Chains A and B, each alone.
Chain A
């Protein structure tokens, strides 16, 4: 089945230690998104790639970066995680920007 895959499902890191979360898709969609979701809140968009074009949300901290080496993969890098970065990170894809977004299962990040 075509799908959005996130690895790992759970990630534990130390305060200040860089961490990378991975997302891959078999849908061949043009757009890939990264969301941060804290407990009992709605997802918050961090940034997205439309093909190779990177689009950062204005309020996304500089601590968060992303890479998209090819159509299928997209990475979220947190350069120096703080305790406040502990959250669920959701990857989503859509064929085009105005079309339906399909979400992966998420990666739960814990910062110690």
Chain B
């Protein structure tokens, strides 16, 4: 069965510091991978996605993620965090083809200290 693991439930960083949020997946082939961000009381906004090709993908708001097949990982990074980045971050995957179902990780809550 496919699954997504986000090992960190809660991360706190200082404004201006770098950020890395971890995501590992379990699937027998290369899945489609996504990072979404959710501010309190809001819907999910797509940050970036990986389907194939270049393993380093750029997203909105200065975020990037790197797909590493050997580690079954798709970690999200940002070189300098802003206070407005405080939110919940969800990693998700689907197996492509006719599969419709997004499998989500449990999310990582990011707190940004001034």
Q: Are B43 and A101 in contact (CB under 8 A)?
A: no
Residues of B within 8 A of A103 (CB): 36, 43-46
Please tell me which stretch of A14-22, A63-71, A75-83, A104-112 contacts chain B, meaning at least 4 of its Cβ atoms lie within 8 angstroms of it. A104-112
Q: What are 8 A-to-B residue pairs whose CB atoms are below 8 Å?
A: A6-B43, A42-B104, A43-B44, A48-B100, A98-B97, A100-B34, A100-B49, A106-B42
Main secondary structure of the interface of A (DSSP, over half): strand
Across the A-B interface, the 4 shortest Cβ-Cβ residue pairs? A97-B100, A42-B104, A103-B44, A103-B43
Residues of B within 8 A of A97 (CB): 98-100
CA distance A6 to B42 in the complex (A): 11
Q: Are A105 and B43 in contact (CB under 8 A)?
A: yes
Residues of A within 8 A of B104 (CB): 42-43
CA distance A103 to B99 in the complex (A): 18
CB distance from A60 to the nearest CB of B (A): 13
Residue of B nearest to A102 (CB): B46
Binding site for A on B (CB under 8 A): 32, 34, 36, 41-46, 49, 90, 94, 96-102, 104-107
Q: Which residue of the partner chain, among B32, B44, B101, contacts A45 with CB atoms under 8 Å?
A: B101
CA distance A31 to B98 in the complex (A): 12
CB distance from A105 to the nearest CB of B (A): 4
Q: Are A100 and B46 in contact (CB under 8 A)?
A: yes
CB distance from A36 to the nearest CB of B (A): 12
CA distance A42 to B106 in the complex (A): 5
CA distance A4 to B43 in the complex (A): 10
Q: Are B43 and A104 in contact (CB under 8 A)?
A: yes
Q: Which residue of the partner chain, among A42, A55, A98, A108, contacts B94 with CB atoms under 8 Å?
A: A98
Q: Does A90 contact B (CB under 8 A)?
A: yes
CB distance from B97 to the nearest CB of A (A): 6
Residue of B nearest to A50 (CB): B100
CA distance A106 to B100 in the complex (A): 20
Known contacts A55-B100, A97-B99: A42-B45 contact under CB 8 Å: no
